[in-house]
Amino acid sequence: MLLEVKHVDFNFGDRQALVDVCLSLQVGGFYALLGPNGAGKSTLFALLNRFYPLQHGSIKLAGKELHSASSDILSNVGMVFQQSALDLDLTIYENLRYHCAIQGMSSKQSEQAIKEQLQRFDLSDHKLRQVRHLNGGHRRRVELARALLHKPSLLLLDEPSVGLDRASRTQLLAYVHLLREEENLTVLWATHILEEVSATDDVIVLSKGRVLAHENAQRLAQRSASAMLADSYADLIGETHA
């Protein structure tokens, strides 16, 4: 088990953002965190990044309590944020170099990792381009490359396909699936777009801060009469929105 979230509650003042959230991610698994806007996906990610303090419950990463362990534990986590978090004034290479530095990687390690990721994402020819001049698809690739530089075991993607066209979205998803296979990465992909979930994925449905389902997409689909994931999802979400 790589990540274990147990009975986590989180409140913003009087508003409950997460209620008794429990989930577990196995090493090398691909998990789609499915939920409408405002479901609590970003709040959950902020807890997994230690941006917010843990108010109640427990989060274990690689067997260690995430919030009481030393900050070293964050080197296990790679993150792609919902909004692009690249430095627009810097080049692709400079953005990646900066990330390596703040991860404490030596110059030699950095150069090696950057070379690998640039090749993997077909960005080698663009490495001296300013991020400001890249299109959305390229920027997402750079963000993904950046998140992988320090070789994390858990990759968190918070609605990474927002603002991308269909082709770029499909390509990005394919990249991440490939990465998971090649690197045995554990991936938690937050989305509200059902098309991004494939039959073999594990799905965690989050709505109004509660986990409504945590199972294989195919089994989840079987819950509805039509055996369609969209219907099962609508039924679940409908229940909480009623």
Partner 1 sequence: MHKSAYGIVFWGVLRRESLRFIYQRSRFFSALVRPLLWLLVFAAGFRSVLGIAILPPYETYITYEQYIAPGLMAMILLFNGMQSSLSMVYDREMGSMKVLLMSPLPRGYLLFTKVLASALVALPQVYTFLVIAWFLGIQPDWFGYVTVLPSLLLTGILVASLGLILASLIKQLENFAGVMNFVVFPMFFMSSALYPLWRMRESSEWLYWVCLWNPFTHAVELIRFSLHSKFNLDAIIILAPVTLILMLLAIWSFDPQRGLSGRLLKSKS
Sole binder of partner 1 in the list 19, 36, 81, 151 (CB under 8 A): 81
Least Cβ distance, residue 220 to partner 1 (angstroms): 27
Binding mask 8-27 for partner 1 (x = CB under 8 A): ----x----x----------
Amino acid at the residue 237: I
Sole binder of partner 1 in the list 8, 100, 142, 145 (CB under 8 A): 100
Q: Which span sits near partner 1 by CB under 8 A: 21-29, 90-98, 160-168, 173-181?
A: 90-98
Amino acid at the residue 108: K
Residue 198 Ramachandran class (φ > 0 left, ψ -120 to 50 alpha, else beta)? beta
Q: What angle do CA 24, 30, 34 make, to 5 degrees?
A: 75
Sole binder of partner 1 in the list 1, 22, 27, 88 (CB under 8 A): 88
Does 46 contact partner 1 by CB under 8 A? yes
Q: Which is nearer to partner 1, 26 or 106 (CB)?
A: 106
Q: Which is nearer to partner 1, 210 or 223 (CB)?
A: 210
Least Cβ distance, residue 132 to partner 1 (angstroms): 10
Sole binder of partner 1 in the list 105, 154, 188, 206 (CB under 8 A): 105
Sole binder of partner 1 in the list 28, 29, 52, 124 (CB under 8 A): 52
Binding positions for partner 1, 139-198, rule CB under 8 A: 146
Sole binder of partner 1 in the list 9, 94, 183, 215 (CB under 8 A): 94
Q: Give the chain's radius of gyration (CA, Å).
A: 18
Residues that bind partner 1 (CB under 8 A): 12, 17, 42-43, 46, 49-53, 70-75, 77, 79, 81, 83-90, 94, 97-106, 146
